[in-house]
Amino acid sequence: MEEQDIPIDINSGKLLEWLINRRHCTKDWHVMVLPIREKINNAIQDMPIHEGIAKLLSGSYINYFHCLKIVEILKETEADTKNVFGRYGSQRMKDWQEILRLYEKDNIYLAEVAQILIRNVNYEIPSTKKQIQKLEQIQIELEKKEADYKKSENIARSEFNLLCKQLGISGEQIKLELTEKVKELPEIYEKIAKKIKSLEKVVEFYCAFVNYTLGRQHDGGCVPMIKYIIDKGNTTTYEWIYGEAPLSVNEPPLNISLNNDDLENKKIEDIDNIGIDFGKIDINSDINFEDIMLEVGGEIDWGDENIDEAIEDENIDYNISLEESGIVVEAAGHEGGIATGSKAYSILDNPSTRNDFINQLFELEAFLKVRLYEFKGDDSVNFLSFSQLQDSTSIVQYSTLENTQNMLDNVQVVLSEILDTKVQHLHNIKHSVRYVDVLTSSLKQKLSLVEKMIILQKNVKEKRENSSEDINSIRPYLQLLIQRTKELQTEIEQDISKKYKNRIVHLTGSINML
């Protein structure tokens, strides 16, 4: 094989070192290239309008090979300045020819393009690729964040809608809607009271069983409050305590302060009616209840003396002495008295009696579950258990698995009604100002979270779109950089080949991975 046929392989990363070692370039080339770069910058300021020149000057660092192409273009644009001796009178041509002459001295151009090639391969192209990868990773993270924010928005919105659905409100004017919704409580309690009547057989069965087990009547009776509601309905607590209905009921007003934003679009006359009367009560609005005197069997004598009544919610003294008339009105008297404070609430509405009622329902439920367990248990145990009840009442003796299950179902229906989420919310709203504030705050926080998540989604989306625009702007630059680098590789290989009798030159290494 002839020497001309042996290729020259040069590692692209060590190209500049290879050129200096073989004395194609000097070590101080970088000092000598500075004035050349200055001349190029000055020459660029005065260039003819030409598409080829504009393409050469855009997108990359101008090197010696670009200068050669510029001179070839100027031979066409400056042809009319050429004299009989073949020289150009154009200053543009003279400037670029001078640049080429300085470049070719000591092969400065070759050292410069070698450095440009190394910088592009080792730094510019990898860093541009990493920049695109980083932006793509940012896009992925932003998409994930956007999805998370959307999920959080949906969860908060669902929780808000669920709670509003439970409360039966739209959620636009929360406190006002809650205040209006509390009006439904008397009707709800009335429906529950009607369903409680279905527990008559359950109570009879339970009482008979307890009395037989004790061998006597239970002190105070079994589940007295349930018995009472079955017999008389959901009366006032006053009537439950004293045994007769009051003459009038003065139920405490609903104490909920409405925010200004809750009062928007609400007529003044509607707001004035927010003091709600929850029960079917007999209240004479013309009477001042601070100084009220009631007569039993006669007329009210207002007298000349001032009478102070100390009426408290927890300790009410209903014995009022009317000295002029000699009349005594007692709370437990034949005509009744005034139901005020907590005693004005119905049994199911009063927090204290309500809890007793619920506990008695649980008591019935537990009893029936035990009976069902006995029915479903071991036959020998059942025989012994049921044989002991032969002397009991018929309702106990003839109880079966089926009717016991039916009784349990009835108890659980009433329990589910009284413990319904909406009913509990409305009950707490009516009897706790703080609960209203907490509930309102909770709903508003969920709405606030929804709005916050929407804003965050918008911000993340904008960032994602910006990063996408950055990627779209960098990718063309990367493609141009790779293209120019490959062109530069070919030009360097051809230039070195000329110096070695046109032997084939290969630049190897990372440049081949572009």
Domain boundaries, the chain: 8-132+476-513, 145-255+338-463
Answer whether 182's CB lies under 8 Å from 429's CB.
yes
Phi and psi based region of residue 166 (left: phi greater than 0; alpha: psi -120 to 50; beta: remaining): alpha
- Work out the pLDDT band at 364, boundaries 50, 70, 90: very high
Q: How far apart, in whole angstroms, are the C-alpha atoms of residue 188 and residue 170?
A: 20
**Long-range CB contacts (within 8 A, 24+) of 428-437:** 429/178, 429/181, 429/182, 429/256, 430/182, 430/185, 430/254, 430/278, 430/349, 431/351, 433/255, 433/256, 433/257, 436/175, 436/178, 436/256
What secondary structure does DSSP assign to 100-129, as a single string?
A: HHHHHGGGHHHHHHHHHHHHIIIIIHHHHH
Phi and psi based region of residue 23 (left: phi greater than 0; alpha: psi -120 to 50; beta: remaining): left
Identify the residue with better confidence: 86 or 234. Answer: 234
Please report the sign of the dihedral spanned by the C-alpha atoms of residue 117, residue 120, residue 122, residue 125.
Answer: negative
- Work out the pLDDT band at 23, boundaries 50, 70, 90: very high
Look-up of token digits 């050429």: 82
pLDDT mean across residues, the chain: 79
Strands 248-250 and 8-11: unpaired
3-class SS string, 9-50:
EEEHHHHHHHHHHCCCCCCCHHHHHHHHHHHHHHHHCCCCCC
Kindly state the helix (H) or strand (E) to which residue 507 belongs, with its residue range. Answer: strand 505-508
pLDDT on residue 378: 54
pLDDT on residue 274: 35
By CB atoms closer than 10 A (0-12, 13-18, 19+), residue 422 is middle
Q: How far apart, in whole angstroms, are the C-alpha atoms of residue 189 and residue 185?
A: 6
For residue 84, pLDDT over 90 is answered with no
Strands 327-329 and 248-250: unpaired
pLDDT on residue 62: 86
Answer whether 212's CB lies under 8 Å from 396's CB.
yes
What secondary structure does DSSP assign to 132-195, as a single string?
A: HHHHHHHHHHHHHHHHHHHHHHHHHHHHHHHHHHHHT--SSSHHHHHHHHGGGHHHHHHHHHHH
Q: How far apart, in whole angstroms, are the C-alpha atoms of residue 148 and residue 154?
A: 10
Q: What is the mean pLDDT of residues 359-386?
A: 76
Which segment of 248-262, 341-355, 388-402 scores lowest on mean pLDDT?
A: 388-402
- Work out the pLDDT band at 50, boundaries 50, 70, 90: confident
Task: Render pLDDT for 242-294 as a digit per residue (tens, 0 to 9).
Answer: 988 898 988 888 877 775 444 444 433 343 333 333 333 333 333 333 332 33
Which segment of 138-152, 305-319, 458-472 scores lowest on mean pLDDT?
A: 305-319
β-partners of residue 11 are: 508
DSSP 8-state assignment for residue 328: E
Q: What is the dihedral of CA 457, 462, 468, 469, to 10 degrees?
A: 170
Answer whether 509's CB lies under 8 Å from 10's CB.
no
Q: How far is CA 426 from CA 81, 180, 413, 433, 435, in A?
A: 99, 10, 19, 12, 10
By CB atoms closer than 10 A (0-12, 13-18, 19+), residue 470 is middle
pLDDT on residue 49: 79
Q: How far apart, in whole angstroms, are the C-alpha atoms of residue 414 and residue 393?
A: 26
Q: How far apart, in whole angstroms, are the C-alpha atoms of residue 360 and residue 337?
A: 29
Which tokens hold the place of 301?
């004598």
Answer whether 71's CB lies under 8 Å from 96's CB.
yes
pTM for the predicted model, two decimal places: 0.62
Q: At what angle do helices 64-77 and 91-104 cross, to 10 degrees?
A: 150
Which segment of 1-10, 128-137, 276-285, 385-394 scores lowest on mean pLDDT?
A: 276-285
For residue 395, pLDDT over 90 is answered with no
What secondary structure does DSSP assign to 340-385, as a single string?
A: EGGGGSBTTTSHHHHHHHHHHHHHHHHHHHHHHHHHHS-HHHHHHH
Q: What is the dihedral of CA 73, 79, 83, 87, to 10 degrees?
A: 0
pLDDT on residue 120: 92
Task: Render pLDDT for 306-319 as a digit per residue (tens, 0 to 9).
Answer: 333 333 333 334 33
Which segment of 113-122, 495-504, 505-514 scores lowest on mean pLDDT?
A: 505-514
Return the closest-CA partner of residue 289 out of 327, 320, 257, 333: 320
